Amino acid sequence: MFLCNGEKLFAAAGFSLTEEELRRFETVAKRLVETNKVMNLTAITEADEIVVKHFIDSLTCYDEAYFPQGARLLDLGTGAGFPGIPLAVMHGDLEITFFDSLRKRLQFLQELTAAIGYEKAVFLHGRAEEEAHKGEYREVFDVVTTRAVARLPVLTEWALPYVKEDGIFVALKGVAYKAELAESQKALQILGGTVVDVRMKQLPGLTDTRAVIYIKKISKSPCKYPRRPGIAIKNPL
């Protein structure tokens, strides 16, 4: 077994997994490492680090208070599938749309979701600044998640237009979360979001403190946002 310490590490973080869930995480880890040899998916390839820094880190964002049963979730900038894949393993009721600008990553995730038997996956290829202006995606998601994509002021402009009113934008952030929150106040006001919860987290074996930021969509985002590709990064709100 590749994840020989997996069950112990999950338990240390407060997660009790079934044998089937452990088997699915084993499949994810093996395919991630194997595919990473030919495609740049992650710098983390050691088994215990995959469990802690990818799987457990991703799962810390879940709270049933913010993730309704059967919620329609957009994993924006999903990359190698985080947090979307761990959420799919543990919460199969969610309908997760994996959204990325690189088609080859989405092809990997299509194969991966099939391998773990997750049948509700949807795959969206494009840019966050462009797809948000299409009616089928704008303000239709119950939850939007982001992890290791960009700073929060930029993410706010990219993500909130996808969140429906009373829905939640969940941002998994690192040690600089306080500064990013302070920088995001104008963007939140313009895009119709308000911070309802900030939860500190510490992962097993690590000393750094991370945060999960929950932002509620309280009003519609103005139609002009997000701005054209590249503008939010060069000139954040």
Distance CA 232, CA 237 (A): 7
> CB 87: neighbour CB atoms within 10 A?
24
Side chain identity, residue 172? L
Q: What is the pLDDT of residue 122?
A: 98
Q: What is the pLDDT of residue 175?
A: 87
Distance CA 181, CA 193 (A): 12
CATH top-level class for 65-234?
A: alpha beta
Q: What is the pLDDT of residue 35?
A: 96
Burial of 18 (0-12, 13-18, 19+ CB in 10 A): exposed
Distance CA 209, CA 111 (A): 33
Q: What is the pLDDT of residue 179?
A: 95
Side chain identity, residue 175? V
Tens of pLDDT, residue by residue, the chain (237 residues): 789 999 999 999 999 999 999 999 999 999 999 999 999 999 999 999 999 999 999 999 999 999 999 999 999 999 999 999 999 999 999 999 999 999 999 999 999 999 999 999 999 999 999 999 999 999 999 999 999 889 999 999 999 999 999 999 999 999 889 999 999 999 999 999 999 999 999 999 988 889 999 999 999 999 999 999 999 999 999
